[in-house]
């Protein structure tokens, strides 16, 4: 049996180099299902409100289902970013570095949208209950009981030479994806996470806007 790959990253390096991987997903290399199992086991160590553990992890490897999810994702991308000028209209003119980074992100996202259906593994994390009618306390508690686990999955994946990218655009076609996967009406999908080995394993911290804009002490 092959030994499962590990990078041996320190905690700070893992936290600062787990990137949204799109162009460097290796679409041709298979992913050992045991790696996905390990990542889910670690993900399930994340906190949940009232210890509810209402999460579900739908792992999609079936060819036809991946292809269809890829189509739904692409359609969502076209709806959201099809009018590129409109998508970029709200970017802050006084922060050219951020504008340039965001334009690169959209280019990269377009690449992923073209290839989503070819990614070897997709994770669709779901949560029991719906927040369609809920106030902020309910929304924060329900989503807060799923999303930390998803990020843990992505960190665990990075440590195992797998790349991931948080995506949500397929949710513009939430019902179609739910029907494809046989999800009950009582759950929500939180994301679509493509998972593949990365081309190379060296990743750097991402550019971020100046934190002095957003860090507040005692008052806003």
Give the C-alpha separation, 111 to 14, whole Å. 25
Structure tokens at 65: 């289902």
Of the two residues 3 and 202, which places its CB atom closer to ligand FMN in the complex?
A: 202
- The least distance separating ligand FMN from the CB of residue 69, rounded to whole angstroms, comes to 13
Give the C-alpha separation, 54 to 126, whole Å. 8
- The least distance separating ligand FMN from the CB of residue 1, rounded to whole angstroms, comes to 33
Of the two residues 19 and 103, which places its CB atom closer to ligand FMN in the complex?
A: 19
The residue number whose beta carbon is nearest to ligand FMN equals 206
Other C-beta atoms lying within 10 Å of the C-beta of residue 1: 5
Give the C-alpha separation, 1 to 27, whole Å. 23
Give the C-alpha separation, 8 to 6, whole Å. 6
- The least distance separating ligand FMN from the CB of residue 13, rounded to whole angstroms, comes to 14
- The least distance separating ligand FMN from the CB of residue 2, rounded to whole angstroms, comes to 29
Give the C-alpha separation, 142 to 118, whole Å. 31
Of the two residues 39 and 193, which places its CB atom closer to ligand FMN in the complex?
A: 193
Give the C-alpha separation, 113 to 95, whole Å. 27
Structure tokens at 79: 């709806």
Give the C-alpha separation, 68 to 124, whole Å. 14
The dihedral built from the CA positions of residue 166, 170, 174 and 180, taken in this order, carries a sign that is: negative
- The least distance separating ligand FMN from the CB of residue 147, rounded to whole angstroms, comes to 8
Cα–Cα nearest to 111, from 86, 77, 62, 88:
77
Of the two residues 58 and 106, which places its CB atom closer to ligand FMN in the complex?
A: 106
- The least distance separating ligand FMN from the CB of residue 41, rounded to whole angstroms, comes to 23
- The least distance separating ligand FMN from the CB of residue 108, rounded to whole angstroms, comes to 7
Of the two residues 32 and 71, which places its CB atom closer to ligand FMN in the complex?
A: 71
Pairing relation of β-strands 121-128 and 193-197?
A: antiparallel
Of the two residues 56 and 98, which places its CB atom closer to ligand FMN in the complex?
A: 98
> Which chain residues interact with ligand FMN by CB under 6 A?
19-20, 22, 105, 109, 112, 165-169, 206
Of the two residues 109 and 126, which places its CB atom closer to ligand FMN in the complex?
A: 109
């Amino acid at each position: 049996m092959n030994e499962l790959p590990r990078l041996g990253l320190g905690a700070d390096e893992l936290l600062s180099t787990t990137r949204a991987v799109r162009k460097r997903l290796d679409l041709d290399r298979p992913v050992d299902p045991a790696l996905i199992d390990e990542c889910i086991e670690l993900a399930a160590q994340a906190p949940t409100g009232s210890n509810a553990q209402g999460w579900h992890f739908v792992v999609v490897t079936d060819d036809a289902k991946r292809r269809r999810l890829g189509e739904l994702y692409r359609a969502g991308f076209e709806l959201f970013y099809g009018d590129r000028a409109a998508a970029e209209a709200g970017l802050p003119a006084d922060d050219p570095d951020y504008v340039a980074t965001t334009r690169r992100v959209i280019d990269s996202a377009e690449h992923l949208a073209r290839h989503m259906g070819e990614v070897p593994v997709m994770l669709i994390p779901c949560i029991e209950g719906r927040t369609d009618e809920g106030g902020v306390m309910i929304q924060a508690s329900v989503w807060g009981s799923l999303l930390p686990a998803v990020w843990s999955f992505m960190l665990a994946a990075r440590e195992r030479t797998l790349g991931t990218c948080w995506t949500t655009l397929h949710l513009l076609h939430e019902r179609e994806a739910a029907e494809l996967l046989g999800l009950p009406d009582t759950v929500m999908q939180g994301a679509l996470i493509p998972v593949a080995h990365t081309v190379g394993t060296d990743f750097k911290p991402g550019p971020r806007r100046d934190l002095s804009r957003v860090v507040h002490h005692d008052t806003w």
